[in-house]
A and B are shown apart, each in its own frame.
Chain A
């Protein structure tokens, strides 16, 4: 099996799947296109300087699902400062992704950054 247990667990029992309804304190970002085979969407709810809720949706391979799931796990409960320094390399390392799959980790991070940038004023 080419994937680590960290990936397999998240693909088979994904957590934090969903989209948060737009509104005050909520931001949603997306990366990728269906035509390219992977789309990752990340939604966050921010209160003060903390992300209180994170949800993802994804169409793509196991690595894309696991990357989005892991980023949502990391975001929920994190401070905005901590979220700002999350990197694709860290995601890829935690999931032990093969180098050719690292781009999906980047997409999860890009979607998260866009979501945080788009958070509506409370």
Chain B
């Protein structure tokens, strides 16, 4: 089985795993236990991880709130900001291609009476900054724009979007789970107020993430969404997941040290995958712009192929289809780019990562092109693009 689905999740790096292991049975203390060495060891490890994560994104250590992952971080950012600014402001802005972990909290707030603007994207997948500027008003509490899209890997102009949000006094959040550790991401350079991160997208464990909350300059004060004990400066109560947080920290440290070389290698594989597929398969189109894109992402559609049959036929290749999350419904991201339902369904997302080898890329080229050819040959008439 060849794994090319690194946007869904990544394997835990063995160096990360090693860093976590002592915190299960030996150094198992509660980081909130202030009166004995078990607690101190746990607390020290958490603070060390906080520094490692802060360094990766250019944040201060006091700006990070550990969470169970990005969904919780997004919920805390969005609902926490809305609740904190309720009365003063009543409008939210986001983008149609966001992950459900942003869209769903936004829609819940809309049901609760907030006005919501969902910005479209161009066929490249990128937002129109002028449209964003027009949408943000002095009533806007929060603007949320993802740093890198999980399906098409397209990078949004975060710094430019943040400037436009701030011009009207709105706070700016970015779901940065796909970008952090893959491409340079600095909260000060981008001037974001809130950023969501998760460990399992950067070779760390599932169940650990963080929300960056700006405390310098524009102090962002969120309303907590989980109460009970006042952990994480009162923003996220609950016993800290020490092994998970240690893993997140180590994963962040490795990502920072190896990002440049890894991005180059992964982008090389991605380009080879695209070149190989283009050489062997006609009627293929790339979804989303290729200029500002995650190095390991490729998303393509095949004309004249049933998407479901395509996925089922790729039995030993772990990739995602345009129908990944909600069976039989096309991806909302691909539809937002203007793809037809059939074309969106007949799409594949490749996520190349740290463990991918050149042989695996060649295998994917061969397998996908053979399956596409076989399905087309099986069709009653010549496929039509």
A interface residue numbers (CB < 8 A to B): 3, 8, 11-12, 14, 17, 19, 30, 34, 37, 39-41, 57-62, 64-65
Chain B residues 326 to 385 lying within 8 A of chain A, measured CB to CB, are 342, 374, 377-380, 383-384
User: Which 8 residue pairs are nearest across A and B when measured between Cβ atoms?
Assistant: A59-B379, A57-B380, A62-B312, A41-B380, A61-B308, A39-B380, A62-B309, A11-B312
Q: Which residues of A contact B383 (CB under 8 A)?
A: 59
B interface residue numbers (CB < 8 A to A): 304, 306, 308-309, 312-313, 315, 342, 374, 377-380, 383-384
Are A39 and B315 interface neighbours, CB within 8 A?
no
Q: Which residues of A contact B380 (CB under 8 A)?
A: 19, 30, 39-41, 57-59
Listed A/B pairs (18) with beta-carbon separation below 8 Å: A11-B312, A12-B313, A14-B378, A17-B377, A30-B380, A34-B384, A37-B342, A39-B379, A57-B380, A58-B379, A59-B304, A59-B306, A59-B379, A59-B383, A60-B309, A62-B308, A64-B309, A65-B378
Q: Which residues of A contact B309 (CB under 8 A)?
A: 11, 60-62, 64-65
Q: Which residues of B contact A3 (CB under 8 A)?
A: 312
- Given known contacts A37-B342, A61-B308, is B378 in contact with A12 (CB within 8 Å)? no
Q: Which residues of B contact A41 (CB under 8 A)?
A: 380
Q: Which residues of A contact B312 (CB under 8 A)?
A: 3, 8, 11-12, 62
Most buried by B among A3, A34, A39, A59: A59
A122 CB → nearest B CB, Å: 25
Which residue of chain B has the shortest Cβ distance to A1 in the bound complex? B312
B251 CB → nearest A CB, Å: 31
A109 CB → nearest B CB, Å: 16
Describe A's contact surface by its main secondary structure.
mixed
- Complex alpha-carbon distance, A40 and B304, angstroms: 14
B243 CB → nearest A CB, Å: 32
A62 CB → nearest B CB, Å: 4
Are B306 and A57 interface neighbours, CB within 8 A?
no
Are B306 and A60 interface neighbours, CB within 8 A?
yes
- Given known contacts A11-B313, A12-B315, A37-B342, is B308 in contact with A57 (CB within 8 Å)? no
Q: Which residues of A contact B379 (CB under 8 A)?
A: 39, 57-59
B312 CB → nearest A CB, Å: 4
Which residue of chain B has the shortest Cβ distance to A14 in the bound complex? B378
- Given known contacts A60-B309, A61-B306, is B315 in contact with A17 (CB within 8 Å)? no
Q: Which residues of B contact A37 (CB under 8 A)?
A: 306, 342
Q: Which residues of B contact A58 (CB under 8 A)?
A: 378-380
- Complex alpha-carbon distance, A90 and B380, angstroms: 24
- Complex alpha-carbon distance, A14 and B306, angstroms: 15
- Complex alpha-carbon distance, A41 and B380, angstroms: 6
With A14-B378, A37-B342 already in contact, 5 other A-B pairs whose C-beta atoms are closer than 8 Å: A3-B312, A11-B313, A17-B378, A59-B380, A64-B306
Q: Which residues of A contact B306 (CB under 8 A)?
A: 37, 59-61, 64
Most buried by A among B342, B378, B383: B378
Most buried by A among B304, B374, B380, B384: B380
